[in-house]
Structure 1
Amino acid sequence: MESFIENLRINLNEELKAIQSNNSSILKVCEQSITGIHAAIKQLRQKVVQSPFPSDAHEIQFFKNIKPHFFALLMYYVDTYHLNASLNAWDVSISMEILQSKIHELNAFRTKNINFYQYITSGLDINDERYFLRRHFNFIDAPDFFSYHCDACFITNMDYYVARLKANDMLLVDINQKFQAYQHDTHASHSSIPSEFCLDWSDSKISLAELIYALHAAGCISHGHVEIKDITRFFEHAFKIDMHDIYNDFKQIKHRNHQTKFLDHLKEAILNRIQVKDS
């Protein structure tokens, strides 16, 4: 069993390195890596089914350290795929918000499971039999059981949590690096903009809200596949303005006598400009 696992680990590591070197797209890397890891896990499961563990200690070692290693890799690449696919759809400012949200989510999972996290990282073993022997599996000790693959011969109470925590640690490293890179790019971008191009919004906030809703209603931005809050963030960033509560602004617009006051003002202004140019 030991030699089989070691060879499987070595071969998988070599495959993952080859995938990294042969692809420039992170999404392609993730897709191919997920396929390779899943194939390795299938081999691992088949070996466990065919070769009973010689002792409880061997079974604990497998479900505490070996299986979580492979599943952590799988979770890591699946999460990395979804995260990067999401980032590709947004600009830097929104991407940074997505990364911050993901960091909060990963830290919240650790906090929720902090006792078990400390148990694993401290090298304790007092509860290993209950945690990592298949015969002790039960629904109470595995509250996330239904979100995990049910396989009586290949699951214990806590091996999922070991894998999830390992995957989260890897993700946090990547996310922090990516967030810092975005911060650097944003700083460089801002510092390279000449001061004469830093513009202010000099009309009222409710006028800007009217414009934003009009652009959204007409589908003028991203072919209409964007939300009010995202257009608002763009204008807030462009004009260094805090819209605070644009949804309340829209309520005011709906209930005032002259609902399209700002848009009508714009129409009148452009018509006057046209007349001036034509004269």
Structure 2
Amino acid sequence: MIIETLKLLEEMNNKLSALSGLAEDDLFSIQQAILITSESIAQLKSMLTKSDFDSITAEIRFFKKLKPQFDGRLIFYLMQLRMQTKSFSSDRSLSYEKELQHAEVFYQSQYSFWQYYKMGLSDLDEHYFTRKGGEEPLFLDEQQIHYDSKSNTPMSAVVARFHAYELLKDHYSRLTTAPALPTSQTKGKVLTLSWTSSKSELIELIYALHEYRAFNNGQLDIKKVAEYFSTVFNVRFSNIYKTYEDIRLRKKNNTPFLDALKSCLERRIDRDNENAM
């Protein structure tokens, strides 16, 4: 049972990693992530009905360490979906801050158990993480994650919420952390440049440079490269993945900006060669 669960967890994470738009809060990617995690949880429940654990230790590991990762991811993506749809009419950062405030309230309400879990204690594990443990909890409020005593234990759902809020904090931290720029102390006076061509042209250039592996030997994620360009050139991108999709689906010419750059440089070289003669 444990081996099958680990394999299913790896498969789920691989599918989620392929959704590059998740880092950008892309709505379609969030919806796909919800489908992927929901399907994985359904498979997990099916496995529980067909087989049992070899030992109490295995059952505790499953409900303490493994299953909360599935449920926690689903809760997190449902949070993202709620915030993404709300942000059409409000500041998305405000939505994240409100969710993090809810997280703080939840941690406070579960403070004793949070300490138990974080400190790696185990003396109450058989009560918390086996299906014969205790009474069903009454504090769940994510209606999409239904408590089922056959596939949950008294505190496995609480650990799932811990996982969800950790994912939320990490994701928000990445969204709000801008890449470091050279300062006057480290690089002398820095010239401020503003991008005055279109955003789609800049994204066309970013994708070309990234595919050419022009930065850090191609090891940087495209989103990180876009964040740096956004900071340097004082331009805000809404969704680079959607813009790239539009570029990719152009019918006549996929790279008009790059073609125009090449033509301009060739004209400059020809003109300078003529002047040098």
Per the alignment, do residues 152 and 96 of structure 1 end up closer, same or farther by CA in structure 2, a change over 3 Å counting?
A: closer
**How far 1:115 moved relative to its partner?**
1.0
Counterpart CA distance in 2 for 1:58 and 1:176 is: 34
Q: Could you tell me how far 1:173 is from its partner in structure 2?
A: 2.1
Q: Tell me which residue corresponds to 2:33.
A: 33
Alignment counterpart, residue 165 of structure 2, candidates 165, 168, 172 = 168
Rounded Cα–Cα distance in structure 1 between residues aligned with 2:6 and 2:152? 21
User: What is the rounded CA distance, in whole Å, between the counterparts of 1:22 and 1:178 in structure 2?
Assistant: 11
Alpha-carbon spacing, 1:18–1:180, altered in 2? closer, same or farther (3 Å): closer
In 2 relative to 1, CA 15–119 (structure 1 residues): closer, same or farther, beyond 3 Å?
A: same
- Measured after TM superposition, the shift of residue 70 of structure 1 is 0.7
In 2, Cα distance between equivalents of 1:43 and 1:130: 25
Listed as ranges, the matches of 1:1-279 within 5 Å are 1-20=1-20, 26-90=26-90, 94-139=91-136, 142-144=137-139, 148-179=145-176
State the distance in 1 between where 2:166 and 2:25 align.
23
Asked if the contact 1:59/1:132 (under 8 Å) is kept, the reply is yes
Whole-angstrom distance in 2 between the partners of 1:21 and 1:27: 8
1:81 Cα deviation from its structure 2 partner = 1.3
Equivalent pair of 1:64/1:162 in contact (CA under 8 Å): yes
Change (3 A) 1:24 1:68: closer
The answer to whether the 8 Å contact 1:75/1:167 transfers is: yes
TM-score (norm. length: structure 1): 0.58
Alignment RMSD (CA, Å): 2.7
Output one character per residue of 1:66-120: Cα deviation in whole Å (capped at 9) or x when no partner.
Answer: 1101111111111111112212322xxx444333322211111111111111111
Displacement of 1:49 = 1.3
1:2 shift after superposition? 2.8
Letter in 2 for 1:158: M
2:245 is aligned to: none
Q: Is the 8 A contact 1:130 1:136 kept in 2?
A: yes
Q: Secondary structure at the match of 1:52?
A: coil
Compute the displacement of 1:21 (Å): 6.0
C-alpha contact 2:69 2:160 (8 A) present in aligned 1:
yes
Equivalent pair of 2:30/2:81 in contact (CA under 8 Å): yes
Identity %: 25
Aligned-residue offset at 1:23: 9.8
Deviations along 1:163-191, one digit per CA (max 9) or x if unpaired, are 0011101102222443556xxxxxxxxxx
Q: Distance in 2 between matches of 1:28 and 1:65?
A: 29
1:17: how far off?
A: 1.6
Helix, strand or coil: the match of 1:53? coil
CA spacing shift, 1:131–1:74, aligned 2, 3 Å: same
TM-score (norm 2): 0.58
Higher helix share: 1
Q: Which has the higher contact order (CA 8 A, sep 6+)?
A: 2
Letter paired with 1:27: L
In 2, the alpha carbon distance for the partners of 1:120 and 1:179 equals: 28
In 2, the alpha carbon distance for the partners of 1:77 and 1:9 equals: 16
Structure 2: segments with no counterpart, 5+ residues? 179-192, 194-277
Larger radius of gyration: 1
Asked if the contact 2:60/2:125 (under 8 Å) is kept, the reply is yes
